[in-house]
A and B are shown apart, each in its own frame.
Chain A
Amino acid sequence: MNTGLDVGSTTAKIVRLESGIITASKVVPSHRWKELLEYGNKRDTIETIVSTGYFRRTVPHTAAITEITAASLGVRYYIPDAQVIVDVGGQDTKVIDLRNNTFLINDKCSAGTGAFLELAAHYFDIPVESLGKLHTRARRCALINNTCGVFAISEMISQLVGGYTMEEVICGIHQAFARRIAQMIPPVETLVLIGGTVLNTGIVESFESIHSSTVVVPPSPQTVNALGAALYGKKLRPEI
């Protein structure tokens, strides 16, 4: 069995592969990563664990790889000719250009990361998961110009005071978020978005409205890196 374990800054994910087929996958908050080791584990099989994510060296592993390699392998499983991957994480965002093996990581500013959306959700006192649904109810988008997470909050407030609804402001937040990341993205026809944040359809829509590229979200975008780690294990130990 090839197991991929991705323990990131906010969530931990596991994917198990048997003969190249996904047999289990699960997501929990990072601090509960230990639960994952039990999940879908067949004790009588030989297991190769490849870890990835910020805490890849802290958790049990046969080998550890970075999220960049994990994302590249995981995405290629679904989309063999993928060119550019945008991996939106809780604390950083990575843009990986598979055409020339280069990548950029934004980790100095929260505005293009999951933390930015957490901040907005916190202001409205709603769970971050509901942002996508609220976005779909917006009839127009409030303009949020600021690319600094903290200052964007005061801009949100002035738009609310100015008459925009919460839904319209959330739509504006999503667009500001996508614009912030757009600065890192090279010109490309198809953009692959991964990471838990892109389960939010408002984010995907915002990317679509900003980019001329076609936006593709692979199945289970949140566990793609764990899948990539498991696939790397398969490279190391092809027999299991």
Chain B
Amino acid sequence: MTDTVGITALIPPELVYACRHRPLDVNNVVPTSSINPRSKLCAWTAVWRDEIMEGGLDIDSLVVVAGGDCHNALVDGQKVALSGVPTHYFFYPFDRDPDYMASQLDGLAGFLGGIKNKEMFRTISGLKEKGLALDQLRVDDRARASDVFSALISFGDLQGDPAAFEEVLDTIPHTDVEYSSRVALIGVPPIYPDFHEVAESFGLHVVYDELPYEFVRLGGNDLQALAGSYRNYSFSGPITGRIEMIRQELDRRRVDGVIHYTQFACHHTLEDEIFRAHLDYPILTVQGDLPRSSSEQLKLRLEAFSEMLEVMP
């Protein structure tokens, strides 16, 4: 029987499928959720917590990425666990130790009942190739950033059905994109569901989504290969690695400016100063809190940033 496993951040979805379960990235319901959490720091974790506890999300168990990602998730995950949902805690190695990573993947496979369908590793590798091609398509101005973003962000769980997801990928329109500036979006993904469309409406072509790119970049065809790849998940390690990676991508994708999305009450907000000191690009920092469509204040910032990149000498 296939169980639905809620996941709170990136874990290898290929492993979940190989254990004959279906992952569901609980974050994917947050941007359109109408829940107003009663106790919260970051709305991302508080909303999925309440969605699960109020029965709005149908999951059989939960995997909380508790180390190398988010402390809020650790606490809110424990609240969910106390309400009776079988919960597993997953930790990335900060020092990128491959053995530790392998032991974490082993533990996860154990929680999921063991690997039963190794074929899934290969199937999902193939899909990730498609994801990478899609990512390149927008770099080449041949696909809308909003379409590519929504495809890439789904690589955390492949929408619960790899075969159906492949069809979704195949229908992403290829179209010539016109824009005034190329920008990168770094940080956690915006909690605003229309962020990419709004940026687009002001002539900003988002050619890099930091986190979704990690979703397609990492992979492997067996447990060992996964350990070797996922230990490099940039969000889980020292920021120096992230800066290096971002720099490379900004250069490769020929961006004019960087948007750093920060989330209210998220520790990643503190990284803004570091990026400003180490990335030599115009940077716009925007902060979101509750899931809503983009506010007028956000629109003003995006419009002004677009003008700055275009008009200013």
Contact = CB atoms under 8 A, between A and B. Distances in A.
Interface of A: 65-69, 72-73, 98, 100-103, 105, 107, 232
Contacts of A98: 312
A105 B284 CA distance: 11
23 contacts: A65-B307, A65-B311, A66-B300, A67-B304, A68-B304, A69-B304, A69-B308, A69-B311, A69-B312, A72-B308, A72-B312, A100-B282, A101-B282, A101-B309, A101-B312, A102-B282, A102-B283, A102-B284, A103-B304, A103-B308, A105-B297, A105-B300, A105-B301
B303 interface: yes
A175 to B, nearest CB: 27
Contacts of B303: 66
Contacts of B312: 69, 72, 98, 101
A63 B301 CA distance: 18
Interface in B266-302: 282-284, 297, 300-301
B257 to A, nearest CB: 8
Nearest to A104: B285
Contacts of B297: 105, 107
B304 A66 contact: yes
Contacts of A65: 307, 311
A77 to B, nearest CB: 14
Given A69-B307, A101-B282, A105-B301, 20 more contacts: A65-B307, A65-B311, A66-B300, A66-B303, A66-B304, A66-B307, A68-B304, A68-B307, A68-B308, A69-B308, A69-B312, A72-B308, A72-B312, A73-B311, A101-B308, A101-B312, A102-B282, A103-B308, A105-B300, A107-B297
Nearest to B297: A107
A32 B304 CA distance: 26
Contacts of B304: 66-69, 103
A129 to B, nearest CB: 28
A101 B276 CA distance: 12
Interface residues of B, number: 14
A66 B309 CA distance: 13
Interface of B: 257, 282-284, 297, 300-301, 303-304, 307-309, 311-312
A69 B300 CA distance: 11
Nearest to B303: A66
5 nearest A-B residue pairs (beta carbon): A68-B304, A66-B304, A69-B307, A101-B282, A101-B308
Nearest to B284: A102
B63 to A, nearest CB: 35
Contacts of A100: 282
Nearest to A105: B301
A67 B312 CA distance: 13
Contacts of A101: 257, 282, 308-309, 312
A226 B297 CA distance: 20
Contacts of A103: 304, 308
Nearest to A66: B304
A107 B83 CA distance: 39
B64 to A, nearest CB: 31
A143 to B, nearest CB: 29
Contacts of B308: 68-69, 72, 101, 103
A149 to B, nearest CB: 18
Contacts of A67: 304
A65 B304 CA distance: 8
Contacts of B307: 65-66, 68-69
A73 B313 CA distance: 11
Nearest to A98: B312
A66 B307 CA distance: 8
Q: Which of B282, B300, B304, B311 has the most CB of A within 10 A?
A: B304
A36 B300 CA distance: 24
Nearest to A103: B304
Nearest to B282: A101
A107 B287 CA distance: 12
